[in-house]
Every structure is written in structure tokens, then in C-alpha cells.
Amino acid sequence: MLSRSRPSVLFGLLALLSPALAFAWGETGHELVNGGAIGLLPPDLRPFFERHRAELVRLANEPDRRKKIDKAEPPRHFLDMDIGGSPGEYPRKFADAQRRFGAKAAQDQGTVPWTIEAMTAELAAAMTAGDEASIVDVAGRLGHYVGDSFVPLHTTSNYDGQLTGNRGIHKRWEAEMLELFPFDAEMQPWMSPAAEVEDPLAFAFDTLLASHAEVRNILDADTELKPLRGTPEYFAKLKEKVGALAARRLGQASTGTASLWYTAWVKAGKPALPEPAAKRGE
């Protein structure tokens, strides 16, 4: 298998030659996830996030931009949980994954659930400290990784359909389709108010398993539409077949993001977050 996370000249060439590996939901999708999450927060928390909406939406794609300069970044976006057996049996502790697969292989297979767990704790610490800049930065980037965990093709070693004759499906389904059709309204039925997450790591794994269950649906749709690839009709038909799936995962990703933002705030003791400078001076 050609690993997405291999830090080498080869990875740099792949980043240039294969746009499908550059983004998960694509810029539009990640912005929809972070932007949608803000409105799902409770009244005590929402005003702070609303004031920083523009920055939180911008930061939704910052982790993808970091891939170009940080060789340690790519594995944080996925987990190839079908390697070594059933996805449900993938080790829940990273140390166990290292023992089972070896340190390098475990890293190359992805670390997104542990990234989500660590960043939720980091956000709680920033909220406890009342560090406005850090709260916004960590929350915005956390939303990206949560969004990635809701992407089916971020849970499999066949991440670009390269093993099944579906090469390029990563970009076609997760980015190009979202650029061609509006998904804002279609996300709404799948969005619900933020709720506390008892165990962020268990939440991440549950999300990944639900995402993985949809991989075959996407690949089958692309296979059926193979004669139409490269045409506008292809994307129209793809949306008919698996557009509702994208809308559902996007909406649920917004809920998941809002819930982890809320969870961090609860773990921090529900502190009053920094207010605008003008209001502090009153």
C-alpha cells in the first residue's frame, strides 16, 4: 500500500500530482462544518464563537494547508482501520496499535482519533486559561479533524479507490461534488444541538466506524457511473446516488464539532470566555 503519510520526496510528488489527497471534505465542506457548528452551541457559549466566526471558518482548512510544510501532519487526518482485520477490532490505544503494527506502520495508518482526543483536551486547557487566541485556533483546527472523521474514505486503506478501479473518487465525491451543488440546506435535518461527549476518543472511534460502513456505497456508485466520468452528467448522477450521504455526514460532522467544543468548555468548568475589548473596558 502506498501510504498517504510517508514523509519523503515521494509524498511531495504525490501531493502535487494527486489533488484527491489534498483535502478531505474540500475547502467548502470543512467551512460548512465549522460554520454550521457555531449555531448548534448553547446560549452561554455561542456568542464567543459567533464573534470569531470568520476566523473559525478560515481555520477549518488550516490543517490541510499545514500538510505542505509539516511532514508530521498528514496522518492526523485519517485512520486506515481496515488494516489487520475488522475495523471494529482496530486498537483503541495508540500504544497498542504501535505494539501490533510497529511504530512506523501505526503512524502511517493514521492518528485522527487520538488527534481529536488530544485537541479536545487542549481546547479545554485554553478555555481554562482564558486564552482567546488559543481557544479560536484550537477550536477551528479541531473542527477540521472532526470533519475528517465523518468522511468514509478517511477510514480505509482504499482511500482513493485505487484498489478497486475507482481512483480519483476521493476528490470527486468529497470535494468536486460539493463545489458543484449547494449542500447547506440538505445538511440541516442532520444537525442537532451540541451535547456533552463523555469520552472523546470513544466518540471518534464510533464516528469512524459509522463512516467506514459507507465506503462500499460510495465505491459502488462510482463504479456504476464509470462510463460517465469526466462529464457533468457524472456528478449529477453521483449526487443522486450518494449526495444524501454527503449531506448527512456533513450535518452530523457539524453536530460532532459543536459537541466537542461544548465538551471542552464543560471540562474546563464552564468558564466565562473572553469578551470583546470594548465591553471589557466598560
Q: What is the 3-state secondary structure (H, E, C) of 58-77?
A: HHCCHHHHHCCCCCCCHHHH
* Predicted local distance difference test score (pLDDT) of residue 278: 53
Query: Is the pTM value of this prediction over 0.95?
Result: no
165 conformational bin, left if phi > 0, alpha if psi -120 to 50, beta if neither = left
CA–chain centroid gap for 199, Å, is 18
Angle at 37 between CA 45 and CA 151, to 5 degrees: 145
Give the mean model confidence (pLDDT) for residues 27-36: 95
CATH classification number, 9-277, choose in 3.40.50.300, 1.20.58.1910, 1.10.575.10, 1.20.1440.230? 1.10.575.10
pLDDT tens digits for range 151-193: 999 999 999 999 999 999 999 999 999 999 999 999 999 999 9
Report the chain's mean pLDDT, rounded to a whole number: 91
Residue 5 has pLDDT above 70, yes or no: no
C-alpha cell at 194: 451540541
C-alpha cell at 104: 512506523
C-alpha cell at 131: 486564552
pLDDT tens digits for range 224-269: 999 999 999 999 999 999 999 999 999 999 999 999 999 999 999 9
Angle at 149 between CA 156 and CA 69, to 5 degrees: 90
Give the containing element (helix H, strand E) for 218. Answer: helix 215-224
Sign of CA dihedral 270, 276, 279, 280: positive
CA–chain centroid gap for 141, Å, is 10
Query: CA of 272: how far to CAs of 47, 128, 130, in Å?
Result: 11, 9, 8
| CA nearest neighbour of 268 among 103, 59, 45, 28 | 45
